[in-house]
Amino acid sequence: MMRQIVLNLDDEAFEPFMGLLALCRQVQIVGESEVTDVLNNRDQCMKQAIETLRENKVFKHGYDFAWIMVAINQGVLDDYEGFRSPQAFLDYLYEIGIDNLPSRYSLSRAYSIIFHTYPDWTFKDVDGATETLRRKNVVRQFLTAYAAAKRGLCNKFCNK
């Protein structure tokens, strides 16, 4: 039986580490890549997750993107440190190929109406549980779609 592991190495450590691996006959190197490939994979997962939500008609309003941005900024995805501003989030989505984006204002407004941390959010502008649940479900469905996209990329990598 063999196991696969993925490591991130500094450029300085790469050559010595590969030299050590060469001494071990039981280790087989199946591939290597630059860190930029990891970033591209992260971006592909984000794009695919957003596209899945659009296909499933999860977004009822343009400002629904805000719930994803706020959740990411609160740390729901280890792959992202967060976005400095709503404009930075919109710029990022545009760069990875997401079009028909909402305005910066609609995302900015979200920060002033959300209380607590996901999934315990409450909203200043909502009285009923239905809309609160719908907004939380936007994030839940995003996280599910993101994880599925990540698994798909991992399976693709592992089957090479």
- Chain segment 79-112, per-residue pLDDT in tens: 899 999 999 999 999 999 999 999 999 999 988 8
Using DSSP, state whether 114 is helix, strand or coil: strand
pLDDT score of 127 more than 90: no
User: 106-120 burial string, b = 16+ CB within 10 Å, else e?
Assistant: bbeebeebbeeebee
Contacts of 82 (CB under 8 A, 6+ apart): 72, 73, 74, 75
pLDDT in tens, 37-81: 444 889 999 999 999 999 999 999 999 999 999 999 999 999 899
pTM, entire model: 0.73
Q: Which helix (H) or strand (E) holds 21?
A: helix 11-23
pLDDT score of 32 more than 70: no
